[in-house]
Structure 1
Amino acid sequence: MTGRTRGRRRGAAAAGVALLLTAGCSSDGAGPEEGVTVADVAQAETDGDGGIEVGDVVTVTGEVVRVVDPGAFLLGGDAADGPGVLVLSPTADFEAEGLDMTDVLPGDGDDVLVRVTGLVRELSLGEFQEDYAIPYEESVFEEYAGEAVIVAERLELAG
């Protein structure tokens, strides 16, 4: 790879990050859904009935309840909010999305809040592995099959 190609890739990557930070994207081009709760995502629909839908890009804030895998964790809202949502990395871990998992390991009664921006998908492990070429362990994720998950594009500590 030449210096010119590397420079173009860096420029394109920087432009992509800047676009994500300022506008984001969603299936309808309107930007990420803001003010969305973890429960909203957990109840995402596939039929276009309104509310959050599979294919939307959302930004949610919640507590890391459990790290499932180096590339996946369960995000929970308030106790009254209902079920949690699995957050998956499109890579083997979350470093490219801006978060070191050692920063979010729950423990010692600390509530670790993260803000996640990403695409809402219905988890089909076979499709996910095809789309992202990541060898996830099926036995670890089978309990989430068919549920709405967030494929993270950006992560940051929120509190």
Structure 2
Amino acid sequence: MRERKARALSVGREDGRFRTWGVGLLLMLASALFLASCGGAGDEPASGSGEETVPAGEEAESAGQARAASVADILDNPSEFYGNTATVSGLVTEVVGPNAVVIGGGELVNEGLLVVGAQQLDQIVEGVPEGEAFEIQQQDLVQATGNVREFNLNEVEQEVGYELDQGVFGEFEGRPAVVADSFVLTPQAGGTTMMQQGTNVGITEIVDQPAEFYGQNLTVSGAVAEVIDPNTFVIVNEQTAEQEGLYEAEAGALGEQGVLVSTSNGPNLTEQQTVQVTGTLEQFDAATFEQEMGVQYDVNNEFVSAFADGPAIMATQVQPMMQGGGTTSQ
């Protein structure tokens, strides 16, 4: 009897220990399931959740990238550029003072674009030959990179840290301006301009209404989309090229969105490089261009064929540029 009680007691204890162990196991499993359903605070988003992580600094870098533009682009659609960084180039039409100039102008761009140094220009200027004094003259070629904004004299004066004469700068109030962190100067050589004066026009304007500009001497900025041969290439609006993938586009698309450039002594260019071209815009005819420019085209080239009767520039000057300030050595 005692044996049976002892065995029963022993079995009861073991059974109690089993039940206690089982309850603990269930509690542990429940806790694990709860944590899995909630997700840890430091866990990465689950695949397919729709959440994306942006690497630190990537957004700021994208926002601060300089965008190539012509004087005409900015003056025609200033609000599109306000608050953004742009690289713009043109000939000096007015020297406003030791730290500011107006570039562009001409019969189609009457006002020109004000460029003010973010610091005094003699502290940031590039391109002045060693040993020569810094001096800006009309017809000098300038490439400036900086913030595009609606000019407010008091705000800009406070930002740049030097005085702006109200009597001189008052007329620019409310007009587009570039506050330049980078200022690259290509001075006149021996009193002769290194780049002839041309009316600043955007590529989009030419593509939309080419007949309006035929026969005119123009200065156009754009990105190289296709190098056909050392003396022939296609330029496009840089923003359009990025949005519509024109750098990889077929000949037909470039024929609709670009401008053909022909020069008798072309610099060594690469695709996506920004250039400023000055020359006469004409309706492209291979035979006429060959005679005028002293070059020869492969009429079977699909890119040459794409511009038949399209807009093309007989270039007298081609100035390669670099994004963010600086000129290439050509």
In 1, are the aligned partners of 2:85 and 2:145 still within 8 Å (CA)? yes
In 2, are the aligned partners of 1:42 and 1:149 still within 8 Å (CA)? no
In 1, are the aligned partners of 2:100 and 2:116 still within 8 Å (CA)? yes
For 2:74, what is the secondary structure of its paired residue? helix
Aligned pairs for 1:17-28 within 5 A: none
In 2, are the aligned partners of 1:27 and 1:55 still within 8 Å (CA)? no
Unaligned runs of 5+ in 1: 1-25, 47-51
Q: Is 2:124 aligned against 1:97?
A: yes
- Aligned residue identity for 2:124: E
**Length-normalised TM-score, structure 2:** 0.34
Unaligned runs of 5+ in 2: 1-59, 129-133, 187-193, 195-330
For 1:74, what is the secondary structure of its paired residue? strand
Aligned pairs for 1:1-150 within 5 A: 29=63, 31-34=65-68, 36-46=69-79, 52-76=80-104, 79-91=107-119, 93-99=120-126, 101-102=134-135, 104-106=136-138, 111-150=139-178
In 1, are the aligned partners of 2:93 and 2:105 still within 8 Å (CA)? no
Deviations 1:54-105 (A, max 9, x none): 11111111001111111111111564445310100122x3122224651x31
**Deviation for aligned residue 1:44:** 4.2
Q: State the identity as a percent.
A: 27
- Aligned residue identity for 1:53: F
**Deviation for aligned residue 1:28:** 5.6
Query: Radius of gyration: which is bigger?
Result: 2
Deviations 1:86-128 (A, max 9, x none): 100122x3122224651x312xxxx321111111011111111
For 2:111, what is the secondary structure of its paired residue? coil
In 2, are the aligned partners of 1:37 and 1:77 still within 8 Å (CA)? no
**Length-normalised TM-score, structure 1:** 0.66
**Deviation for aligned residue 1:157:** 2.8
In 1, are the aligned partners of 2:146 and 2:180 still within 8 Å (CA)? yes
The CA RMSD measured in Å over matched residues stands at: 2.6
Higher relative contact order (CA 8 A, sep 6+): 1
Aligned positions, number: 123
Hey, what's the Cα distance between the residues in 2 that align with 1:44 and 1:134?
29
